[in-house]
Amino acid sequence: MTTKNIPNHVGLIMDGNGRWATAKGRERTYGHYMGYKRLKKTATHILNKGVKILSVFAFSTENFQRPKEEVDYLMDLFLTSFKKEIKYFVQNNVKVVFSGRKEPLSDTVYDSMKELEMETISCDGGILNICLNYGGQAEIVDASKLIAESFKNGKIKLEDITVESFYNYLYNELPAIDLLIRTSGELRLSNFMLYSISYSELYFTNTCFPDFDEKEFDEALESYQNRNITKGTIKQK
Ligand code: FPP
């Protein structure tokens, strides 16, 4: 496979953990645990391929409406894995950042996110952006509020607000997503990074996330590389 045209920023909607586990006669939570294990391997592979930024959808604001046991399990998984994996990300030179709102995350979960961010802040071998308690419309609203503040304080003028400068007000000031992948056969965007996916190439696979391995990503990459992509002038920050 050619090594040319590696997407700068890949988005990944990690869907199908629950169905994967149910099909094996296991609890849905087992699927989330195996999704976490899969994320660690696949994210490392994607960044080693030369992708600079990987944004993953770990937990949407709507996910708080799931049964309490499932939400509790996921929050516990986040807390323990963020603490446990600090060393792994530092060793692999991956900078971890989070996108999303604080409320209603508990202080313990939020602190573990901040700790992982701080411990990996100097890593420069790729960025893993974990969207947690995240909603794409909320991100645009939050960015608009920041812009309104800056305008009110006289820090910016109306003409400074452009399609390109808007990226600077998103949660992590990351550039546009080039390739968006969703696993498990669902054909929806589900409020994921709406501003950043305006010109993304889309790739859907029936594979559930716990099975989305290195080979599966390479197939998505090959599909991307075989497309005739016309870069829009507003695609990159
Ligand atoms: C959606 O699939 C997936 C989630 C709500 C959770 C995703 C979380 C992980 C992959 C774990 C990530 C771990 C860390 C530490 C970041 P679903 O379970 O709703 O699938 P279903 O549609 O089959 O029910």
The verdict on the CB of residue 49 being under 6 Å from ligand 1 is: no
Residue bearing tokens 């603490």: 83
Q: How many domains are there within the chain?
A: 1
Q: How high is the mean pLDDT of the chain? A: 95
Q: Is 201 left (phi over 0), alpha (psi -120 to 50) or beta?
A: beta
The verdict on the CB of residue 126 being under 6 Å from ligand 1 is: no
Domain that holds residue 24: 9-225
Tell me, yes or no, whether 151 lies in a domain.
yes
Tell me, yes or no, whether 108 lies in a domain.
yes
- Return the pLDDT at 228: 80
Tell me, yes or no, whether 231 lies in a domain.
no
142 is catalytic: no
Tell me, yes or no, whether 183 lies in a domain.
yes
Helices (H) and strands (E) in the chain, counts: 8, 6
Residue of 5, 8, 17, 63 with catalytic role: 63
Tell me, yes or no, whether 234 lies in a domain.
no
User: How distant is the alpha carbon of residue 204 from its chain centre?
Assistant: 16
The CATH number for 76's domain is 3.40.1180.10
Tell me, yes or no, whether 79 lies in a domain.
yes
The verdict on the CB of residue 116 being under 6 Å from ligand 1 is: no
Residue 25, token pair as written in the block: 């006669």
Tell me, yes or no, whether 185 lies in a domain.
yes
8 is catalytic: no
Structure confidence by residue, pLDDT tens digits, 62-98: 999 999 999 999 999 999 999 999 999 999 999 999 9
The verdict on the CB of residue 98 being under 6 Å from ligand 1 is: no
| Cis peptide, bond prior to residue 7, ω within 30 of zero | no
Give the span between the Cα atoms of 29 and 186, in whole angstroms: 20
Tell me, yes or no, whether 230 lies in a domain.
no
- CA of 32 from ligand 1 middle (Å) equals 5
Which amino acid, one-letter code, is at 119?
E
Q: Do the Cβ atoms of 216 and 205 come closer than 8 Å? A: yes
pTM for this structure? 0.95
Residue range 115-143: mean pLDDT, rounded: 98
Residue nearest atom 11 in ligand 1 by C-alpha distance: 36
- CA of 82 from ligand 1 middle (Å) equals 16
Residue bearing tokens 């790739």: 203
The verdict on the CB of residue 32 being under 6 Å from ligand 1 is: yes
Residue bearing tokens 């399609």: 163
- Return the pLDDT at 223: 98
Give the span between the Cα atoms of 101 and 142, in whole angstroms: 9
Smallest Cα–Cα separation from 215: which of 49, 69, 98, 34? 49
- CA of 154 from ligand 1 middle (Å) equals 42
